[in-house]
Structure formats: structure tokens, C-alpha cells
Amino acid sequence: MKTTRKLKLTIIGDEETRKEQYKIIREEQYQQYKALNLCMTLLNTHNILNSYNTGAENKLNAQIDSIDKKIEQAKKELEKKGLKESKVSKLKETIEFLENDREKLKDEYLNSSKFRSDIDEKMKEMYIKDMYTVVQNQVNFRARDMMSLVTQRARKDFKNSLKNGMAKGERSLTNYKRDFPLMTRGERWLKFEYDKDSDDILINWIHGIKFKVLLGYKKNENSIELRHTLHKVINKEYKICDSSMQFDRNNNLILNLTLDIPDKQNNNYIEKRTLGVDLGIKYPAYVCLNDDTYIRSHIGESLELLKQREQFKDRRKRLQQQLKNVKGGKGRNKKLSALNKLSDNERNFARTYNHMISKRIVEFAKKHRCEFINLEKLTKDGFDNNILSNWSYYELQNMIEYKAKREGIEVRYIDPAYTSQKCSRCGYIDKENRQTQEKFKCLKCEFEINADHNAAINIARALD
Ligand SMILES: [Zn+2]
């Protein structure tokens, strides 16, 4: 399974070396940006010329068809009895004239299609096979491999934009931005190792550049998991795939490290045992087994989440107010960067929170030897009943999915309709069954249960 981790990097070396090497990375990124856009333009030119000529041929074909019809009509006319001599000779003349025209158009058609296949061949030669040469004349890469990374990428993106409706005008050509992440080879270019004297993780890249991974001092969920992952990279348990690097808005160098993580075999599960996950208001998640509904748990507390969110909101409000009061210049920039930093912190907080919740859900499933985890499918309208935003829920789903997969547990998505209204004992569905946010009481069989627990049971059993 492929997964990507973001690592903050710093170059190791004296001031002079570092300055020079950062410059190398930026320059290579600039060359890549030019090369990618060039490739796109070349691919598109080829494509347009191709479809232009096809268009011309279609037009000729239509003209020939219409002349065919006219000739047929004239011939039918001719077969009629009792026509005047002058009419007959006029019709014959018309037919001859039209047939002449048709021959000319047919010639034109043949020429055009031959021209197209010729040009097609030439274009292929020039633009596809020798895209290397064309682009190489315009850009100047330090690393030779960059050319193949660039052409591969451009071809893939071009194919995708064609597939996604570019030919129909529903989408335009991919336009690479100046800050498009610099692509880097995986295993061959990124050599991870531990520093001999400390716990630091180092990367030997090309051009003699050596990075240190900045893992941060906070011992939070993120950095512990990251350290664990990188340990497996160094031990060659995880394979490094082609990755990329970029500078974030605070000018930090970020490596988007793509890894291929082998799926663990889960031979230990109890067949068909499923964990249902309900996302709620009081608790971010409530989990329950399908075959033993007494085994259940809530994951996390919403209160802490709400409190933290309020704090972010207050701080944002204050900063925005202050921003209104400063006129410009340094003060304004300072406030703006404080706002950006706040957004980063908020994102990081939400991400860390999702990591924690997803980890605990998967741990629960593993502990109770589940074969499956059932999640509610996120609908277009989203949920109104949960504490997380839809985007955050989507992120949480992804995290649960890849963490489960690593343990050999399969995640299934179920239809979220009625999970909170249905009685988990008798199956009776009624909006009124859920009496309050917390209390569920079936109007038919009078079964009483915690509402989140009831929903989690329904989710766990949805595919039984
Ligand atoms: Zn009931």
C-alpha cells in the first residue's frame, strides 16, 4: 500500500554550503517547472494538429455524402418516362458535373488523410520520441534523471486531462505553477540513515546534499508515529518510492516521502466479526462489535475538541480585528503571518486528533480480532450529526482505512440511512425512536439503549 509522509528537512553544513545547496534545489525546481510546461505544450500541439486534420477529413466526408445524394436524385429523375430531350441533356450534364466534383473531393480526402498520417509520424518522432531533445534544448537540469521524471509526469497528466474532458472543452490544459514540488527518485536518491552520535535521522540526497529530518521536540502522536515509520525505512522494511520536495510558505523545505508499506497478514481474526463505528456529537466515535454488542467503547471526548476549537476561533477573531486596525507595512505582514501560522496550528491539531482517534479505533478492532471495520459512507450532504467537519471526517476515514489495512483488517462502507432511527433489536424504523440525543427507546418493542450504542450496533451489522 502506498502512503505519503511530510518531513521537514534542513540542509547540514556550514552557512556557505547550505546557502549554495538551497539555491541548487530552487534552481532545479525552476528548471523542472519550465520543462513540465514545455512538455505539456508539445503534447498538446501534437494533439491539436491531429484533431484539426481529422476535422478536415470529416468535413470532406460530409461533402462527398451530400454530392452522392444529389447524383442519386438526378439519376432517379432521369429514369422518369416522357422527359423532354432538353431536360435529359441538362440532367446528364449535371450528373457529369457532380461526379467530377466528387472525384476532386475524394482526391482531397486521400491527400488529407495521407498528410495526417505523415504528420502523425513526424510529430510522434519529433514531439513524443524526441520530446527529450526538444525540452533539453530549453532547460538545464543538474540531474540527468530529471528529464525522464518530467516527461513521465507530463504524459501522465496529459492523458488524464484528455480523459477528464479536455477534448470536449470541459477542462483546460494542466498549467504547472512555479512552486510545483521538485520530483525526486526514491530509493536511488533518498538514502536514509541514523546519525552515529545522536538519534537524528539523516538523508543523503544527490549533488552531495545531506539533510537532517526535523521531527520536532513535542512528543505528540504524530512525531512518535513518524519516527517509528522512518525506523522501518532505515531498516528497509518499507520501500521508498518516487517522491517530491517543496518549500512551504514559511520557507521550510518539505519532503513528501512516498512509501510502499507491505500489508500485514491478519490470520488471527474471528470470521465475520465486524466493528461498527458511529461518529457522534457527545463522543467523536462510538464503536461496537456485531456479534457481541456488550463489547463497545467510546473513543475520545468531544468536549476537549470543542474547547480547543473555541480557542482557535477566539484567537482568529482577535487577529482579524487587529489586522483591520493596522494600516500596512511591517505590522500588517506580521499579523498576516500570525494568521497563517494559526491556520497551520489548527490543521495540525485536527490532523493529530484524527490520528489519535483512528489509531484507537483500529487498535480496538485488532484487540477484539475483527475481520472488518464498518464505516458510514460519506454522502454528498454529509452528516449533520457529528462533531467533525465533512473534510475532517474524510481525512479520518482515510486514516482508519490505511491503519486498518496495515493490520490486515478490511474497511467497508455502508449506507448511512436510518442507522440512528432503526431499533437494533427488532428492526423497527421510526424517527421518534430516538427520543433525545442520548436516549433511544423503540416505540414497538420498548427496547431502551444509549442512542450512539444503538447506531454502532446497526452499523456493525449492516452487512451481516
Ligand atoms: Zn424494537
Q: How far apart are CA 397 and CA 358, in angstroms?
A: 8
Q: How far is the CA of 273 from the centre of ligand 1 (A)?
A: 23
The pTM of the full predicted model, rounded to 2 decimals, is 0.53
- Domain shared by 392 and 358, yes or no: yes
DSSP β-bridge partners for residue 396: none
Radius of gyration, CA atoms only, the chain: 33
> Is 169 among the domain residues?
no
Amino acid (one-letter) located at 228: H
Which residues span the domain enclosing 50?
Answer: 26-163
Q: How far is the CA of 449 from the centre of ligand 1 (A)?
A: 10
- Domain shared by 324 and 417, yes or no: yes
- How far lies 325's CA from each of 318, 335, 339, 418, in Å? 11, 11, 15, 50
- pLDDT for the residue 125: 67
- Domain shared by 294 and 434, yes or no: yes
Residues near 16 by Cβ (< 8 Å), separated by ≥ 6? none
**Number of CB atoms found within 10 A of residue 370's CB:** 28
Among the three residues 211, 228, 260, which one is the final residue of a domain in this structure?
A: 260
Angle at 337 between CA 334 and CA 343, to 5 degrees: 145
Q: Which residues surround ligand 1, an ion (CB under 5 A)?
A: 423, 425-426, 428, 442, 444-445, 447
- pLDDT for the residue 423: 96
| Dihedral angle of Cα 399, 401, 404, 405, to the nearest 10 degrees | -120
pLDDT, block means (10 residues), the chain with 464 residues: 91 95 96 93 78 75 87 89 89 92 87 74 66 81 90 89 74 87 95 89 95 74 77 91 94 94 77 91 87 92 80 89 81 85 84 88 94 85 56 82 84 91 94 89 94 95 93
> Is 266 among the domain residues?
no
- How far lies 118's CA from each of 51, 122, 124, 134, in Å? 14, 6, 10, 20
Q: How far is the CA of 438 from the centre of ligand 1 (A)?
A: 17
> Is 10 among the domain residues?
yes
DSSP β-bridge partners for residue 11: 211
> Is 430 among the domain residues?
yes
- Domain shared by 337 and 438, yes or no: yes
Q: How far is the CA of 434 from the centre of ligand 1 (A)?
A: 11
Q: How far is the CA of 414 from the centre of ligand 1 (A)?
A: 21
Residue 184 belongs to what H/E stretch?
Answer: strand 182-184
- Domain shared by 196 and 158, yes or no: no
DSSP H stretches of helix in 379-424: 390-406
In 3D space, the residue among 431, 435, 424 whose CA is nearest the CA of residue 458 turns out to be 424
Number of domains observed in the structure of the chain:
3
Q: How far is the CA of 290 from the centre of ligand 1 (A)?
A: 17
Tens-digit pLDDT profile for residues 31-81: 999 999 998 888 888 777 766 667 777 888 888 888 989 998 999 988 888
Q: How far is the CA of 445 from the centre of ligand 1 (A)?
A: 4
Residues in the chain: 464
- pLDDT for the residue 266: 65
